[in-house]
């Protein structure tokens, strides 16, 4: 049994990790930390966990995380970079669900995240945890940078086109829509039901932190820099990301076959039949990314529709998929979930 700790379990990625780990046969949940809520039973804050998680939140000191095999950081940006070293030194493997280790160019990271990086050396060591790209490296990794939610949906949608070199990579467009849980469980006015409900808007048009992460991944896949316009939008639902991706084909190609071949062995990427229109609810609660490819009016603009649950394949589910790979467990263990529809 893999002994698991969670740092910062009071947010949505924290409770989602617990939801999934509670039904994972290969792990035991050792500790969940929260300085602020130390002592409170987890199930008191999240009654959905009553009968499933008996732990209380503990302080980092009491948690004795160095006894764990793996620790998940479900914390704000900037925490894991300060606390990971001690755990790694103690032989604990670390999966950071925040952004601390996602960007290899530390100066670029510092610019977008507005703080100095506490552990540049770890950035170089960290493996970007997108199994569909880095599976073998993940198996060997001590430290995983778990991808962002938008980057997961966008990269999985563009990868087959970029890897095959069949699109003009200088003018990609990613028009993305996210449920409000992407903003986390923070007391902020813009995420109130009365602000975000029955409403639709773009945000971060001038520049969103997931832009450099996506650019890095696609540039690596294509072997050359890419040009991307990324516009995220807030949509009045709880979970789900829908990425609508646009690229110009530079040659005639069977895009459906291209996607099917690329993901033929991927358990958590579902290339839907030609003509499909994936819905976010078709992956609600599950770890699957569903993708459909279109060429409207048969033209040279390819439109990729890619949906994930931002809290699962976009966060906690992918983190567990990475953990499974790191510990030699079946990649899908604990993730064999039928999405909740309706």
Judged by CB under 8 A, the chain residues 50 through 79 that form the site for its own copies are 50-52
88 makes contact with its own copies (CB under 8 A): no
- Under the binding rule (CB under 8 A), the answer on residue 278 touching its own copies is yes
Query: Using CB under 8 A, which of the segments 59-67, 113-121, 147-155, 293-301 binds its own copies?
Result: 293-301
If one asks whether residue 118 binds its own copies (CB under 8 A), the answer comes out as no
Give, in degrees to the nearest 5, the angle at Cα 61 between 56 and 66: 95
Residue 219 has a CB neighbour count (10 Å cut-off) of: 15
* Contact stretch for its own copies (CB under 8 A) within 31-39, 72-80, 99-107, 187-195: 187-195
31/114 Cα distance (integer angstroms)? 31
104 belongs to the binding site for its own copies (CB under 8 A) = no
How many residues bind its own copies, per CB under 8 A?
88
Distance CA 57, CA 218 (A): 39
Tell me the pairing of strands 2-7 and 301-308. Answer: unpaired
Tokens 């409403």 correspond to 199
Does the protein bind its own copies through residue 25 (CB under 8 A)? no
If you search the block for the tokens 């646009």, which residue do you land on? 246
Q: Among 143, 167, 283, 335, which residue interacts with its own copies (rule: CB under 8 A)?
A: 283
- Which are the contacts of 42, defined by CB distance < 8 A and separation ≥ 6? 9, 18, 32, 49, 53, 55, 56, 57
191 binds its own copies (CB under 8 A): yes
N-to-C CA span, the chain: 34
Stretch 310-329 residues interacting with its own copies (CB under 8 A):
none
263 lies in the site for its own copies, by CB under 8 A: no
Taking the CA atoms of residue 21, residue 22, residue 23 and residue 25 in that order, the dihedral angle to the nearest 10 degrees is 70
Work out whether 242 is an interface residue with its own copies (CB under 8 A): yes
Q: Does 272 bind its own copies (CB under 8 A)?
A: yes
Structural contact between residues 6 and 17, judged by C-beta atoms closer than 8 angstroms: yes
Determine if 306 is a binding residue for its own copies (CB under 8 A).
no
Q: Which of residues 164-183 bind its own copies (CB under 8 A)?
A: 171, 173, 175, 177, 179-181, 183
Q: Report the Cα 68 to chain-centroid distance in Å.
A: 23
DSSP 146: P
Three-class SS state of 184: coil
Closest distance of CB 306 from its own copies, Å? 11
Shortest distance, position 66 Cβ to its own copies, whole Å: 28
87 vs 176, which CB is nearer to its own copies?
Answer: 176
264: contact with its own copies by CB under 8 A: no
> Known catalytic residue: 149?
yes
Among all residues, which ones are annotated catalytic?
149
């Amino acid at each position: 049994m893999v002994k698991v700790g969670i740092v910062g379990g009071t947010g949505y990625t924290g409770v989602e990790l617990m939801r999934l780990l509670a039904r994972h046969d290969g792990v035991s949940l050792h500790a969940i930390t929260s300085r602020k809520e130390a002592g409170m039973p987890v199930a008191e804050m999240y009654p959905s966990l009553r009968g499933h998680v008996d732990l209380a939140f503990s302080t980092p000191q009491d948690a004795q995380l160095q006894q764990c095999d793996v620790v998940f950081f479900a914390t704000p940006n900037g925490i894991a970079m300060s606390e990971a070293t001690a755990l790694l030194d103690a032989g604990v493997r670390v999966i950071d669900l925040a952004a601390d280790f996602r960007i290899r160019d530390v100066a670029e990271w510092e610019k977008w995240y507005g703080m100095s990086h506490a552990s540049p050396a770890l950035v170089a060591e960290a493996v970007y945890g997108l199994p569909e790209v880095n599976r073998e490296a993940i198996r060997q990794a001590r430290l995983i940078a778990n991808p962002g939610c938008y980057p997961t949906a966008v990269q999985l949608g563009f990868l087959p086109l970029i890897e095959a070199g069949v699109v003009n990579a200088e003018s990609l467009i990613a028009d993305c829509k996210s449920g409000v849980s992407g903003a986390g469980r923070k007391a902020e006015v813009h995420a109130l039901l009365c602000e975000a409900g029955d409403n639709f808007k773009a945000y971060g048009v001038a520049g969103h932190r997931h832009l450099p992460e996506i650019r890095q991944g696609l540039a690596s896949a294509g072997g050359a820099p890419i040009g991307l316009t990324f516009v995220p939008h807030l949509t009045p639902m709880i979970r789900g990301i829908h990425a609508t991706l646009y690229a110009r084909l530079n040659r005639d190609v069977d895009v459906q076959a291209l996607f099917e071949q690329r993901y033929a062995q991927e358990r958590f990427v579902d290339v839907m039949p030609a003509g499909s229109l994936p819905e976010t609810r078709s992956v609600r609660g599950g770890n699957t990314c569903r993708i459909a490819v279109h060429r409207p009016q048969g033209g040279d603009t390819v439109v990729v529709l890619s949906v994930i649950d931002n809290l699962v394949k976009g966060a906690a589910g992918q983190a567990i998929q990475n953990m499974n790979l790191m510990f030699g467990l079946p990649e899908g263990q604990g993730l064999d979930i039928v999405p909740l529809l309706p």
